Amino acid sequence: MIGWLERLALSSGPDVVGLLVAQGGLSTKALDAFVAWSEGGGPPAAEALRRLEHEADDARRELVSALKASLATPISQEDLFVLSERCDRVVNRVKNLAGEAEVLDWRPDATAAEMARDLRAGVASVVTGFSSLAGAGSEAGEAADEATRAVRRVEHSYRTAMAGLSGSSDLRAVFTAREIYRSYVRAAEALEALSDRLWYALLAEP
């Protein structure tokens, strides 16, 4: 049972769950830009992605500062910190993917667009879960499961794309596409780690 001192600390301290949700909202916007880039948006979409990644970084720093100042939090400080870090990792991976593709002069295709849309859907689901962390655990669990399903769709798209590359005689194009597709999967792996931690945060709560 929460004591009166802890209730007082919670009521007077910063809204750390709200700050996590704010970071998640910016992360979702960054994935919107990533979808636009993956659908052929080119340099303007890539620039928007980089800008939003920086804004999400700022939001993460604000959350970490609030955690340092908090005497009590609705869920553990460790869970909040790790959820924030893993959300940041997803955004970093898609930003780096777009940068890598630009260096390699690789243009996104229909498979890339499909994987990006699933990544965005997964991040949005997790952020929905963030919003209910201090309330109904079942809603956060459902959001985590939906994010995991999005990860599986990315993996399926990757396998289909790899099978389609097997008949190409342009080895350079095959190698480049394989590396970029694999980067989409790495982003999905980061999303799965985020989803798993959301479940962990729920199970760790009494």
The per-residue pLDDT for 13 is 66
Q: Give the residue carrying structure tokens 């979808």.
A: 35
Q: Where are the domains of the chain?
A: 14-204
- pLDDT per position in the chain (206 positions), as tens? 444 334 434 455 689 999 999 999 999 999 999 999 999 999 999 999 999 999 999 999 999 999 988 777 888 899 999 999 999 999 999 999 999 999 999 999 999 999 999 999 999 999 999 988 866 557 889 999 999 999 999 999 999 998 887 766 777 888 898 999 999 999 999 999 999 999 998 886 65
Contact of 39 with 91, CB cutoff 8 Å: no
Side-chain half-sphere CA neighbours of 191 within 13 A = 38
Q: Using alpha carbons, select from 151, 155, 194, 145 the residue that is nearest to residue 24.
A: 194
Q: What is the pTM of this model?
A: 0.90
Residue 166 dihedral angles phi and psi, to the nearest 5°: -65, -25
Token pair recorded at residue 56: 């999400």
Token pair recorded at residue 175: 């190698």
- CATH code of 14-204, in short, is 1.20.58.220
Please list, in sequence order, all residues whose beta carbon lies within 8 angstroms of the beta carbon of residue 199, skipping any fewer than 6 positions away: 141, 144
Q: Using alpha carbons, select from 128, 124, 152, 122 the residue that is nearest to residue 140.
A: 128
